[in-house]
């Protein structure tokens, strides 16, 4: 299967501060990549660089054979990048349904399909964004990215601050998106055990550089390596 995403020799950061050094990665259609690392290692910066909101010093970013590295964020979204930032950034003055219909683009993902994946949103479709719980806002943010009908979905800390039952619901939705719908996904997460089980590949960053890349299953089943890379035991 051809590569969907190809990143080569990427160096990026903010203003005059270089955060990422010589990052290269590839991702096939339908693959999920767990992007791991301790706090401040460059995970969010990498996501932000793919989206186009950092300063790129060098390197290339190709999505479905389109060069994106010089394109503004809106053009990257149009090319097929869906983004769910840590802040979620839903429209709190709109209803849940209006959040979805305001940005929807033609394609298989519709608001009704999002409701099928997240029934909680269907029940609260008329609630204002500000009236939704944190978990419901996260589901809405994911749904809003999906109705853009992207080729690649970027999730930055999707389980942060959520109750365990909502974490499970969100991760089941993400797993469905990748395994049943064939969407490629990159997930930034502080807790590796949550996402290694639903990912095919894993990448670990440290000080802005890749220090490990390989099978998610192998990393999940190697407590010693997990502890060395991330300071966790399983």
Q: Give yes or no for residue 34 having a pLDDT over 80.
A: yes
Q: What sign has the CA pseudo-torsion 190, 196, 201, 204?
A: positive
Q: Give yes or no for residue 81 having a pLDDT over 60.
A: yes
The pair of three-digit structure tokens given for residue 136, joined into one six-digit string: 């419901």
DSSP 212: E
What's the pLDDT band for 182 if we cut at 50, 70, 90?
confident
User: Which residue is associated with the tokens 């959040």?
Assistant: 99
Give φ, ψ of 213 to 5 degrees. -150, 135
Cα–Cα distance measured from residue 132 to residue 210, given in angstroms and rounded to the nearest whole number: 37
The pair of three-digit structure tokens given for residue 194, joined into one six-digit string: 């949550």
Q: Give yes or no for residue 233 having a pLDDT over 70.
A: no
The domain locations on the chain are 3-80+150-230, 87-148
Q: What pLDDT digit, counting tens, does each position of 84-143 carry? A: 999 999 999 999 999 999 999 999 999 999 999 999 999 999 999 999 999 999 999 999
Cα–Cα distance measured from residue 38 to residue 52, given in angstroms and rounded to the nearest whole number: 23
CATH of domain 3-80+150-230: 3.40.50.300
Secondary structure (3-state) at 72: coil
């Amino acid at each position: 299967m051809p590569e969907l995403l190809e990143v080569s020799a990427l160096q990026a950061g903010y203003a005059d501060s270089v955060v990422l050094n010589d990052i290269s990665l590839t991702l096939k259609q339908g693959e999920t990549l767990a992007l791991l690392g301790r706090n401040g290692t460059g995970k969010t910066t990498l996501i932000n660089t793919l989206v186009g909101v950092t300063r790129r010093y060098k390197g290339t970013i190709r999505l479905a054979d389109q060069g994106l590295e010089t394109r503004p964020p809106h053009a990257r979204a149009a090319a097929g990048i869906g983004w769910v930032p840590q802040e979620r950034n839903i429209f709190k003055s709109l209803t849940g349904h209006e959040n979805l219909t305001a940005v929807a683009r033609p394609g298989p993902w519709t608001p009704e399909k999002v409701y099928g994946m997240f029934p909680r949103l269907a029940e609260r479709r008329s609630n204002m964004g500000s009236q939704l719980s944190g978990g419901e806002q996260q589901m809405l943010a994911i749904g809003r990215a999906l109705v853009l009908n992207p080729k690649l979905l970027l999730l930055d800390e999707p389980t942060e601050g959520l109750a365990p039952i909502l974490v499970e619901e969100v991760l089941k939705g993400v797993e469905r998106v990748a395994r049943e719908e064939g969407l490629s996904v990159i997930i930034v997460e502080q807790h590796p055990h949550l996402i290694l089980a639903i990912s095919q590949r894993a990448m670990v960053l440290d000080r802005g550089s890749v220090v490990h890349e390989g099978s998610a299953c192998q990393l999940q089943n190697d407590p010693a390596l997990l502890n060395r890379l991330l300071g966790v035991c399983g």
